[in-house]
Amino acid sequence: MKQIYYNPQAECAPREQIEKLQAELLKSRLEFICRNGLPYAKKLRAAGIEPQDIRTIDDIKKLPFTDREDIGTPVLRGDVVRLHGTSGTSGKMLVIPCTARDLELFCEGLCRALTMLGCGKNSVVQNTFGYSMFVGGHGIQAAAEKLGAVVIPTSVGNTARQIEFMREFKTDILCGTPSYVLHIACEAEKLGLKREDFALKSCFIAGERPPEGTAEIIAAKLGADVYDVYGSAEMTNVFAPCSFNRGKHIPEDMIYAEIVNGDEPAGDNVLGELVITTLAKTGLPLIRYRTHDIAAIDSSPCPCGRTGKRLVKTEGRTDDVIFYKGCKIYPSQIEFAIKKYPALTGRYQIVAGDKLLVIAEARGGAAADGLSEILTSITGVNAQAVTADGLTADGGKIYPVCKK
């Protein structure tokens, strides 16, 4: 497949050029933070670090981390033009101030992402993302319009009308959260509609981590390629997969991404916590911001020709941690073990009793021989696994911990 780039100079730049630019941008952001007296300046002073100490991008390891608690109430400087916020999945909504420049950068990132999935002048983009504080809906509309596409801003809800518009206006790109796009696909199936009844080519899903197999189900029901995109209000940008689907491309001229275990850097393709630095944002520049998302980074070349590193193996969140008998257990560990069994659906429940009981949903009453031993080995606690048919009707999400 011929690759089409929105900004080939940035997307296909040599690594040496990318890393030189990143160092320059990082130093510039630190100077901006200190000049404007932003909260992170205090952390720099406490660590005895000056912006001029940054000579290469590897010097970023000298800088202190930032966490959600460090952000606080946003400062509404004169250049702030809009407020956005997190989707509220982890407690109180975090409000993010955006300048006109920030929104331009977001549009640039989304233009690159939409171009990867084939968006252009002849496209019809149906945008089911919400248009409230959530940044995704506004960003998709601006980027798709800049690419010359027709945008149908349906937002979320009124599924019957969504399906009607998809057929009437021959929507070829559908954007929304994984759960809602899957809901549309299931409702269309209930109406007796088949994939041939739609003109869909691509689905852009983001905003939540989909349960295992969601993308494949959507693709089968709607007959479209599904692109699972990573983004957040904090970084006001996205990491998106190309048609080769070997991870989500990081726009490294705008975002520096690293993986850490604790405070130490993790190696290539090693799971850890994703930490991001916004290299060009002005409304709320973030330095070494802990996302609490568990992932890995792959720096090997991609066949598409883009030279940026890619986010791979997104596996949950560090703040999903379960404390059991003095041990920390992450749901991603449970999922890792369950994925080894094709007969299991990926849905499960954890029951914390005398043993750590994992109830895994199975297809057709299948067993999962050896799963208890695997769980015991990777969690370090006495674990027992059992299987069950039809664990619950809830669309395949991770189930919470129950206590006996």
* pLDDT single digits (tens) 59-108: 999 999 999 888 878 778 889 999 998 754 445 678 999 999 999 999 99
Q: Is the pLDDT of residue 278 over 80?
A: yes
Q: Average pLDDT of 228-239?
A: 94
Percent of the chain with pLDDT over 70: 92
Predicted confidence band of residue 392 (pLDDT cuts 50, 70, 90): very low
Fold of 1-318: Rossmann fold (3.40.50)
Backbone angles phi, psi at 212, to 5 degrees: -55, 130
CATH fold group of domain 321-403? GMP Synthetase; Chain A, domain 3 (3.30.300)
**pLDDT confidence of residue 184:** 95
Place of tokens 């941690």: 321
The pLDDT of residue 110 is above 90: yes
Q: Do domains 1-318 and 321-403 have the same CATH topology?
A: no
**pLDDT at site 397:** 36
- The stretch 279-294 carries a mean pLDDT of 94
Q: Where are the domains of the chain?
A: 1-318, 321-403
Residue 210, pLDDT score: 77
Q: Model confidence at 54, in pLDDT bands (50, 70, 90)?
A: very high
Mean pLDDT of the chain: 88
Tally Cβ neighbours within 10 Å of residue 271. 19
pLDDT given for residue 229 in this prediction: 96
Strand residue runs (E) in 217-321: 225-228, 230-232, 237-241, 248-249, 255-261, 264-265, 272-278, 289-298, 310-317
321: region left, alpha or beta (phi > 0 left; psi from -120 to 50 alpha): beta
Query: What pLDDT shows up at residue 123?
Result: 97
Residue 398 confidence (pLDDT): 40
Q: What is the pLDDT of residues 139-185, one digit of tens each?
A: 999 999 999 999 999 999 899 999 999 999 999 999 999 989 999 99
With 50 as the cut, is the pLDDT of residue 394 above it?
no
Q: Which pLDDT score is estimated for 39?
A: 87
pTM: predicted TM-score of the whole model, two decimal places: 0.80
Most confident residue range from 116-125, 327-336, 386-395: 116-125
**Quick one: what percent of the chain has pLDDT higher than 90?**
62
At 399, the pLDDT band (50, 70, 90 cuts) reads very low
Given a contact cutoff of 8 angstroms between Cβ atoms, the answer to whether 297 and 310 are in contact is yes
